[in-house]
Amino acid sequence: MDQLNLWTNGHQQLLDEFRRFAGKRSLRQAMFAYRGNPGSIELIGTPDAVASQMADAMEEAGGDGLLLSLGNVSRRAIAEVADGLVPALQARGLVRRAYEFTQFRDNLRAF
């Protein structure tokens, strides 16, 4: 029986990784100690510096997009991403400036 008794409709692999990491810890202890996906990188600095780090990571690892995981989802954090990071990424050609189609599903399929 799983000590934490957690479930998700999302990514099962990530949940399994967290369960292995948690071991005999309580949920609170595990959450404070967990540092996320070991394949992720911590991005720190100005929007331009973070965009540069993201560009370097994409060049080295490849891929078809970027995924941000914010520990603190606040209005300020969203504004920093939308008003600072996104324009810096757009300047590097890593984020589109406009949508090609009017329908959301068509824009998702554009990748």
Looking at the 3D structure of the chain, how many domains does it have? 2
Decide: residue 89, CB within 10 A, 0-12 exposed, 13-18 middle, 19+ buried: buried
User: Structure tokens of 34?
Assistant: 């967990």
- The conformation of residue 66, written as its DSSP 8-state character, comes to -
Confidence band, pLDDT 50/70/90 cuts, at residue 2? very low
Structural domain harbouring 59: 47-109
Q: Does residue 102 share a domain with residue 68?
A: yes
Chain length of the chain: 111
Long-range contacts of 37-44 (CB under 8 A, 24+ apart): 37/69, 40/69
Measured distance CA(18)–CA(59) in Å, rounded: 28
pLDDT at 41 over 70: yes
Q: What integer best gives the mean pLDDT of the chain? A: 83
More confident residue, 34 or 36: 34
pLDDT at 12 over 60: yes
Q: Does residue 62 share a domain with residue 16?
A: no
More confident residue, 37 or 82: 82
pTM > 0.85: yes or no: no
Q: Does residue 62 share a domain with residue 103?
A: yes
Q: Does residue 70 share a domain with residue 35?
A: no
pLDDT at 61 over 80: no
Q: How far from 82 is each of 55, 65, 75, 78, CA to CA, in Å?
A: 17, 16, 10, 6
Q: Does residue 31 share a domain with residue 59?
A: no
User: Structure tokens of 76?
Assistant: 């300020």
More confident residue, 39 or 11: 11
Q: How far from 97 is each of 33, 82, 92, CA to CA, in Å?
A: 38, 12, 11
